Amino acid sequence: DVRRMTVPQLLACKGHRKVVALTAHNVSTARILDDYVDFILIGDSTAMVAYGLPNTLSITLEQIAQHTAAVVRGTQRACVIADMPFGSYQESPAQAFRSAAYLLEHGADAIKLEGGSVMATTVEYLVSRGIPVLAHIGLMPQYVNTMGGYLAQGRTEESAKRVMDDAKALEAAGAFGIVLEGLAEAVAANISSAVSALTIGIGASVSCDGQILVTEDMLGLSGSRVPKFVKRYANLENEMRQAVERYADEVRSSKFPELQHCFAVKKD
């Protein structure tokens, strides 16, 4: 009997072993990740890697819910965490609860939302009503329009202090974990030892309690332009190109299909 990793089990990893996470939005990827990772995030980065949108802002709650359901169907043991899309939680704690409940109804075990101290009230509201929250601070892609780009955070003393204060406010509000994205290495390391919440780094520090990457980025499926913090563990684009090219050649030269791929007429 396979049991799915729970949020308390994730949190219990802190100080004992690293937490491994990747993103997924479909069954075929989720099925593979399930054998290797502790949690799978249905990121709002799905907007970019699956839909070709220019940023994460315009993916909807309904889309994230459907991708979450697909990932749940493809997995048995990884904890499944769904990103709260832009516009689905910033208005009020009640709006956030309704959106988060919708994602849990589609099989998510927890939700993730962006924002520091400004989200503390919302985090407390959700956690006290049964919804585990993974927070996300540092570089927050949903703030691209107010930031005017994707800029690493914590690189000045003032910024470092703001992010540390955010982490402490989220911990106090009851977030079980905090994604630290695009954050000065030393600041991410300091936060990881200062809070009891699980820190999950992406462009942060090896001292974080765990790491996450966008799967398409680390597999080489998201084009040639990737952030500095991405490490390429495969070049699946090349492999896919070779396979598709061979298929196209074999169809054009009548090499495929062969008889072994065809059905014979039944004789009676």
Cβ burial, residue 42 (10 Å; 0-12/13-18/19+): buried
- Helix or strand (DSSP H, E) at 40: strand 39-42
**Continuous segment of H or E residues that includes residue 183:** none
Specify the stretch interacting with Na ion by CB under 5 A; choose among 78-86, 152-160, 167-175, 224-232: 78-86
Position 43 contacts Na ion (CB under 5 A): yes
> Does 179 participate in binding ligand KIV (rule CB under 6 A)?
yes
Q: Which helix (H) or strand (E) holds 111?
A: strand 110-114
Residue 23 binding: pick among ligand KIV, Na ion, none (C-beta 5-8 Å cut-off by kind): ligand KIV
Q: Per the residue annotation, which of 171, 181, 216, 237 is the catalytic one? A: 181
30: partner contacted, choices Na ion, ligand KIV, none (Cβ within 5-8 A by kind): none
181 is catalytic: yes
Rounded to whole angstroms, the Cα distance separating 127 from 125 reads 6
Run of H or E including 153: none
Select the residue interacting with ligand KIV from 7, 113, 195, 212 (CB under 6 A).
Answer: 212
Query: In terms of C-beta density within 10 A (0-12 exposed, 13-18 middle, 19 or more buried), how is residue 20 classed?
Result: middle
Residue 43 in contact with ligand KIV, rule: CB under 6 A = yes
Contact flag: residue 23 with ligand KIV (CB under 6 A): yes
Instruction: Answer yes or no whether residue 124 interacts with ligand KIV by CB under 6 A.
Output: no
The 8-class DSSP code of residue 264 comes to P
d(CA 260, CA 244) in angstroms, rounded, equals: 20
Q: Which does 10 bind (CB under 5 to 8 A by kind): ligand KIV, Na ion, none?
A: none
Is the Cα torsion angle 60, 65, 68, 73 positive or negative in sign? negative
**Does 216 contact Na ion by CB under 5 A?**
no
Residues 44-103 that bind ligand KIV (CB under 6 A): 44-45, 83
* Residues labelled catalytic: 181
Residues that bind ligand KIV (CB under 6 A): 23, 41, 43-45, 83, 179, 181, 202, 212, 214
Interacting residues with Na ion (CB under 5 A)? 43-44, 83
